[in-house]
Amino acid sequence: MIHVHELTKHYSDLRRGQFVALGGISFHARPGTVYGLLGPNGAGKTTALRILSTVLQPTSGTATINGYDVVVQAGQVRRQIGFMSANTAVYDRMTGWEMVEYFGRLHGIPRPELTERMEKLFERLKMNDCRDLLGAKMSTGMKQKVSVARAVVHDPPVLIFDEATAGLDVLVARALLNTVAELRDQGKCIVFSTHIMREAEKLCDRVAIVHRGQILAEGTLEELRDRHHQRDLEELFFQLISQHEAACGFASVL
């Protein structure tokens, strides 16, 4: 479903020179699974997912989603995905219903079908309270729900969540994780980036631990635990990153 091959992204930055945000990452994600990108802040998760959502162009490498190339078939790729990140905000001067309806229409869903689908969606996500509320007046949790509804309204085969739980309280975060799990059970291919180990443990079928634009380890949680002889994911994560830091000669950030 998602094939990422040797994806790199360089930025030119005055202070850091040619800054490598992604140093050639490759992974595959299959339908009906949640693929976790685990990494500290600044690891390159957002860059990778922005490339998948066609908003950024890679410096080299290829990525295909449902068979479409993210660079040369960007338009088709955007029809295949629902993208939600900390940067995809909700319109201030639109109500929850209007916002979701707008994106549904942009995806070309006929109006009667859209209304029916949205009614169900609003019911399922329990967001009838923000139905007629302007974005500016919504709480963070409501905004997050609207964003989820916006991302899934066109029933895309691929869903990308970039640190979607950042800044949410336990209740809302839990509800969001449940929604993601439901979507997985419906057969969606999901990429989920986070820096919270508990979420990864709960949700992800496979994870890639990303640091400084590199994938340090990749596999199912069990595989990782066995390979590195560490049952605790957080310890495992910490260990891998420290080793990488030491190997690269960086002063430890941890």
Identify the three-state secondary structure at position 85: strand
> 33 or 47, CB closer to other proteins?
47
- For the chain, what's the residue count? 254
Taking the complex as a whole, the smallest distance from the CB of residue 232 to other proteins amounts, in Å, to 35
Instruction: Compare residues 10 and 228 and give the one whose CB is closer to other proteins.
Output: 10
CB of 153 to other proteins, least distance (A): 10
- Strands (DSSP E) contained in the chain are 2-13, 17-29, 34-38, 60-65, 68-69, 81-85, 158-162, 189-194, 206-211, 214-220
Q: How far is the CB of 144 from other proteins (least distance, A)?
A: 13
Minimum distance, C-beta of residue 182 to other proteins, in the bound complex (Å): 22
Query: Which residue lies nearer to other proteins by CB, 54 or 214?
Result: 54
Least CB distance from residue 249 to other proteins, whole Å? Answer: 21
Which is nearer to other proteins, 66 or 230 (by Cβ)? 66
Q: Is the dihedral of CA 145, 115, 191, 8 positive or negative?
A: negative
Which lies closer to other proteins via its Cβ, residue 43 or residue 207? 43
Rg (Cα) of the chain, in Å, rounded?
19
Residue 27 Cβ vs other proteins, minimum distance, rounded to whole Å: 15
SS3 content of the chain, % helix, strand, coil (to 5): 40, 25, 30
Applying CB under 8 A, which residues contact other proteins? Answer: 3, 12-15, 17-18, 53-57, 62, 64, 66-69, 71-76, 78-79, 81, 83, 85, 87-94, 98, 102-103, 105-108, 134, 147, 150
Nearer to other proteins, 69 or 205 (CB): 69
SS (H, E, C) 195-236: CCHHHHHHHCCEEEEEECCEEEEEEEHHHHHHHHCCCCHHHH
Tell me the sheet residues that pair with 22.
9
